[in-house]
Structure 1
Amino acid sequence: MSDPQESRPASETRRAWQDLLGALAEIDADWIGPQRGLAPGREHLGIRGLGMALWGALDLYLENEPERPHFVRLISPYRKWGDNPDAIYFFAPLRGDLTYRVQGRRGREVYLSLTVHGGDRDGHWPTRVVAELNMDDMAFDADGSFEVVLSPEAHRVNWMPLEEDAGSVVVRFYFNEAQAASAQPELVPDLRIETVDGPEQVPVPDDETVARRLRRVEAWVRSKFGGQMLGPQPRRRPSWYSEVPNTMGPPVDWTDGDGGGWGAVDIAYSAGEYELGPDEALVMEGRLPEGLFTNVVIWNELGQTADYLERTVSLNDTQMELGEDRRYRVVISHRDPGVPNWLDTCGEPRAAVFWRFMLPAEPPEAPVCTVMPVDRVADGGQ
């Protein structure tokens, strides 16, 4: 006797779910292995990264609709992709033809901004910045409260224009403190979003609704492993990313001309990769420009930090020990060389080094990099 369910047409949700499972299997086969730069024995990094991307996609899209969005924290000490321990980021999906109100209150952050991205409707990779607003251009109440309107029509104060391809808003809170902001569970920014002209009530999710949300989940996961954000080679490198190991690229202000994405227009970036033997150290030296914030962080092949709750894998300019005229000397090595400003490789022989210079008062210089025996770092390599 045949199973009656075999002749029953699949629901849209089941088809979308099967497509999502197929995408995960495709990424597993195509991205998580040596053909994309993950050496044998390191597949666990890819699987962990894929799990985190799926977790994020479900959080951002499965129960979040642009008609009635809510803010979702993008990354945390436990969910990582391109993460920054000194910042707390929030995401909400948008539609370019609606009007939204974002409300919140200033706290201890040194930098606050909202960025509307375009081209990323339904979970796709953002291709451009539609609008950007930072705290210098915002009006605040006496208690630090603020209200920002996102809409196609102009408003007088704290307005961000929306265009047809607008798909998301990202809110950034940067902190310059002795302890990484993301490692402080009590540090929760005051932030919320509501739709001004959307539906009064969200309908109970039906088959079509859940299927549509799952399609967004699939698109988000694919965008992370499609050569854009996560995954080793090949992928497009921005102009500020050095292709030569143990060197950093020239700091450049972020623009979507480098391939789109979720960068901040107020930051100059510089990056490269270290490649060190067990007894080697990379020494980075230079002068920090005056500005709101600077930090340096180590990422693995999947754009993830190691556990910064337990190890020092990033430094901001409050945490750094600086010399005269804001001179710095940051050391990356597999073991503690006994000097200030040490970044722990956590045993990784090769990883990315990522610098951020927030609203620098002058153009920042690329760090000068030198590889030397780790035992010679304390005496300056002499």
Structure 2
Amino acid sequence: MTDDNKEMKQQLRAAFDDMIQFFQEARDAIDTPELYPAPPTERNLAEGYRYMLGFMLSGIERSLADPLYPRFRRAIQPTNRATIDNADAVYLMAEIDGNYSYRVRGKAKDTRHWRGEQPADGVTAPQYIIFELSSGYAGDSGKLSEMKPGSRINTGTLDSSQIAVDANGEFEILIAPTKPVGYEGNFIPSKRVSHNTEYVGRFLTCRELFHDWEYQDVMDLEILRLDCEQDIKPPITANEAAQLMRNVGEIARNQVHFWNAFNAITLETYGKIPGGISDKMGMDRPFMPVNDMNPPNALGIATGGGQSSNIYAGGTYLLDDNEALIIETHTPVEPAFMGFHLANLWGESLDFESYPSNINAHFLDRDKDGGYRWVVCHKDPGIANWVSTTGLPHGYTSMRWTYPSPPPKEQWPTLKVEKVAFDEIRSKLPEARIVSEAERAEQRLIRHRHVQRRYRQY
């Protein structure tokens, strides 16, 4: 073995050891009080380790990505849920370098509902999709100090209300620093000046949101850098492999540390923080109130980023076996998508394959007064619109209303939360439809089949 090879071997081993040390520091966030973990119940601890493994997986996939040869992959899926994710969504991401130009090609099933038309019977496109190109990735610093105006922006967005699609459901999107003269197709700028700074797009995300889990299906997507076929991708070097391993560990550690702090300090999940967001908003309770939800709010620091076309609301539930929450919303302007979801205190959406831990507008029975009402509790109350906690006593509640064009503030959705005794549910909701166990079983089958189809790896 040459001296050069011996040195490279030591360099790579050292990088691997650094990655393992980063993983250890990520692990520490599961049960070290100073790092703001969820309360150390048996289930919280078990789910915390799974949560950490999810960020390890994400770190590996992100670090292996090449911005000059990008491909779409699932940024969040059942194996790495986080950030109070939307159980009705596919989250896709491709790393790019916004100094270059790229072309996205897509194909979807029947898209007529994107234009307000009635689709034909059968399989259709997702309820709503949105592409967003960001200059940064939330949580990568590992510190809450990154949450300040100008730290990262979207250089451009494009959603299903704007995308030009042909009769076969096919479309193309050009992503480039500037729009070519005379170009009239779908376009997302990869550079934008804001706060007297030029930002370069690095992370292209695509969210596909589903209402009808039985008939709406994912799109086919491709992304290529223009003229990539002219450039031969060089083999990986030892220095690059070493940096890759350190990146894997650093991403995992920083993400776990950031989101733990975000949940405890920014969201005030476990109580008010002096000088925190609730004080700044003049609220006399935590931003994430217990057995209640904060008022609908648009994208911003309080949401930790998120989908730019959403209005959000959130809180926590803390219920025993004989208690329930009734969540009520009225929507003066009907959103393109609406969903209610539960998550554990790590921010993982609860199991939405075996349990109705989320219910969107498609599966929701609407009341005669035009309102929508969900019931959150541990055991099945035997009525429609039941959202199951999967037996978890304490977790997050979240609402999302999607508006391609936001309505005026006075026409935003309203929200009301009421805690009731389990035995009072039916008297509180006299119009609620009775649901048989056979119908519940049919709903579970739809969930199992949709989740397999949505997250297929082939």
SS of match in other structure, 1:140: coil
* Partner residue of 1:113 out of 117, 127, 130: 130
Instruction: Give CA-to-partner distance per residue, 1:62-81, whole Å, 9 cap, x none.
Output: 2x201111110122233312
Tell me the distance in 2 between the aligned counterparts of 1:296 and 1:379: 22
Tell me the distance in 1 between the aligned counterparts of 2:289 and 2:219: 39
Tell me the distance in 2 between the aligned counterparts of 1:355 and 1:284: 10
* Structure 2, unaligned runs of 5 or more: 110-124, 143-150, 192-198, 269-276, 431-458
With 158-167 and 44-53 compared, the bigger mean Cα shift is at: 158-167
Q: CA deviation at 1:180?
A: 9.5
1:208 aligns with 2:239: yes
Instruction: Give CA-to-partner distance per residue, 1:180-201, whole Å, 9 cap, x none.
Output: 97xxxxx442101111145622
Identity percentage over the alignment?
24
Equivalent residue number for residue 179 of structure 2: 154
8 Å contact from structure 1 (residues 121, 166) kept in 2: no
Instruction: Give CA-to-partner distance per residue, 1:197-234, whole Å, 9 cap, x none.
Output: 45622111221222233343234323421323788524
8 Å contact from structure 2 (residues 325, 376) kept in 1: yes
Equivalent residue number for residue 65 of structure 1: 66
Tell me the distance in 2 between the aligned counterparts of 1:277 and 1:347: 9
More helix by share: 2
Structure 1 residues 120 and 369, CA gap change in structure 2 (3 angstroms):
closer
Please provide the CA RMSD for this pair. Answer: 2.9
User: What are the equivalent positions in structure 2 for 1:124-163 lying under 5 Å apart?
Assistant: 127-155=152-180, 156=183, 157-163=185-191
TM-score, normalisation: structure 1: 0.87
8 Å contact from structure 1 (residues 86, 176) kept in 2: yes
Tell me the distance in 2 between the aligned counterparts of 1:67 and 1:331: 48
* Partner residue of 2:256 out of 209, 221, 225: 225
* Structure 1, unaligned runs of 5 or more: 182-186
8 Å contact from structure 2 (residues 72, 93) kept in 1: yes
Tell me the distance in 2 between the aligned counterparts of 1:219 and 1:167: 18
Tell me the distance in 2 between the aligned counterparts of 1:222 and 1:180: 39
TM-score, normalisation: structure 2: 0.73
Equivalent residue number for residue 184 of structure 1: none
1:195 aligns with 2:243: no
8 Å contact from structure 1 (residues 32, 47) kept in 2: no
Partner AA of 1:250 in structure 2: P
Partner AA of 1:332 in structure 2: V
1:46 aligns with 2:81: no
Equivalent residue number for residue 357 of structure 1: 401
Q: CA deviation at 1:92?
A: 0.7
Tell me the distance in 2 between the aligned counterparts of 1:264 and 1:12: 41
1:376 aligns with 2:445: no
Structure 1 residues 61 and 140, CA gap change in structure 2 (3 angstroms):
same
SS of match in other structure, 1:89: strand
Partner AA of 1:46 in structure 2: G
Instruction: Give CA-to-partner distance per residue, 1:113-139, whole Å, 9 cap, x none.
Output: 110011349966883222111122222
8 Å contact from structure 1 (residues 99, 197) kept in 2: no
Tell me the distance in 1 between the aligned counterparts of 2:66 and 2:261: 25
Q: CA deviation at 1:296?
A: 0.5
Equivalent residue number for residue 388 of structure 2: 344
Partner AA of 2:330 in structure 1: R
With 25-34 and 226-235 compared, the bigger mean Cα shift is at: 226-235
Between Structure 1 and Structure 2, how many residues are aligned? Answer: 370
Tell me the distance in 2 between the aligned counterparts of 1:221 and 1:180: 36
Equivalent residue number for residue 294 of structure 2: 249
8 Å contact from structure 1 (residues 287, 325) kept in 2: no
Partner AA of 1:113 in structure 2: I
Tell me the distance in 2 between the aligned counterparts of 1:146 and 1:242: 41
Tell me the distance in 2 between the aligned counterparts of 1:299 and 1:211: 36
Tell me the distance in 2 between the aligned counterparts of 1:22 and 1:129: 33
